[in-house]
Amino acid sequence: MHAEQQDQRRRVPRTDAVLADPQVAAAAAERGRDAVRDVVRAVQQRVRAGDLPPEEVVPAVLAALPPAGTTLRRVLNATGAVLHTNLGRAQLSPAAVDAVVTAAGATDVEMDLVSGRRARRGRGTLAALRAAVPAAGDVHVVNNGAAALALVATALAAGREIVVSRGELVEIGDGFRLPDLLESTGARLREVGTTNRTTLADYRAALSERTGFVLKVHPSNFVVTGFTAGVEAGELAGECAGLGVPVVVDIGSGLLAPDPALPAEPDAATALAAGADLVTASGDKLLGGPQAGLLLGEAGLVERLRRHPLARALRVDKLTLAALEATLRAAPNPTRAAVHADPSVLHERCLAVAEALRGGGIDVAVQPSAAVVGGGGAPGVELASWVLSLHPDLAVPLRTGDPAVAGRVEGGRLLLDLRTVPTAADDLLVDLVVAAVRGVSR
């Protein structure tokens, strides 16, 4: 046995010989020579241990290499949550993806190509945002919604007070609490009202020379019902106008204009028309774009924010600027398509996919269901949908497939909601379910 092990070790291909293989060399050029060398050495150890024939080293190395460029994996979102935070919220439109590819190289992000001189960063994106919300005197973009609010609090209320309803001091997930963010800027919170009821008189009593601004926050991930009262942005604007106190409205979900499908969801245009001085929002929610924080409102205030030293630390990169501009200029995007999908069309798609699966001998049912916006948007709103109902044992194989499929398990069944799956991916979904069934039945 000892002689056999010695012989096996002698037959292990040398590291430089494996790295010289054309396929391995190509992988090393793409992923980095050091990373590929580590995989080669791990495979060589399998040969020494007798777990792998020497002639299979190259195929084993290629199979063991991680995906090029990123460890992130593609996932088909079949959860029924349009903006699933754990899956990256909004999916970019083809136009936005193309824009990111263009921006990946050298671009004129801060150069006027005619004069050859420096130009305002992201001017095309800012122009598109202004055009999308004409009521805004000016606009600015930072790296996420929380950053937008942090910039406002730092620039307008550091060492001063932010007047805010006690019922709007929300936690948005993963332990992230709005009051913690605001107080981290050096501002003090002046809470008014109660958890369920806040009146205009509550705000009026709190206003003073110490007030930096009045903040109204949309509680975008919960609903309070029953004995409640709140104050609209227009009422606050009327109260604060003569005092020179700005009214800032955080709408959260990034809806720029009213949407008939989501009548209760606040939007930037309406808030500004009502008299809000500034509106903050996210770019990767109902807008359907990349992660970004949007600031819209009175030109002097926006310029003050843009010139603040913190704005430099919060600025967005060229890839985000490109994706956001494409999202604003090209209306169709996966988020809007999912929110506005026709339930009758979803039913027809489910029936077609189910028929294809039954043709492969797979037990599947089609049933009505309810999807949600998700991602901290339109809490309590249900979107009529249809789902494929499968055996729950398929949940893990589908999530670990390539690409992965994420559904939800309810009532002892795995449900795949086609509202959040692009129509073009229906055939792929069939193939992935078939592959998962075969894997489970082995």
Q: What is the DSSP string of 171-227?
A: EEETTEEHHHHHHHTT-EEEEES-SSB--HHHHHHH--TTEEEEEEE--TT----SS
Q: How many CB atoms lie within 10 A of CB 134?
A: 11
> Do 307 and 389 touch, CB atoms closer than 8 A?
no
Please give the pLDDT value at position 4: 52
> Do 32 and 68 touch, CB atoms closer than 8 A?
no
d(CA 431, CA 356): 10
| Cβ-proximal residues to 393 (8 Å cutoff; 6+ apart), any chain | 440
Please give the pLDDT value at position 7: 58
d(CA 322, CA 289): 10
Sign of dihedral through CA atoms 432, 401, 425, 255?
positive
Per DSSP bridges, beta strands 278-282 and 247-252 are: parallel
Please give the pLDDT value at position 288: 96
d(CA 31, CA 250): 42
Distances (CA, A) of 420 to 67, 85, 219: 25, 13, 24
| Per-residue model confidence as pLDDT tens digits over 235-282 | 999 999 889 999 999 998 889 999 999 998 999 999 999 999 999 999
Which ranges constitute the DSSP H helices of 78-141? 94-103, 123-132
Please give the pLDDT value at position 9: 62
d(CA 239, CA 213): 12
d(CA 54, CA 60): 10
Please give the pLDDT value at position 360: 87
Task: Using the CB atoms, write b or e for 303-323: b if 16+ within 10 Å.
Answer: eebbebebbeebbbebbbbbb
Please give the pLDDT value at position 1: 44
The residue written with tokens 């001998």 in the block is 361
pTM over 0.85: yes
CA 205, chain centre distance (Å): 39
d(CA 131, CA 322): 16
Low-confidence ranges of the chain (pLDDT < 50): 1, 3
| Cβ-proximal residues to 52 (8 Å cutoff; 6+ apart), any chain | 43, 46, 60
> Do 140 and 298 touch, CB atoms closer than 8 A?
no
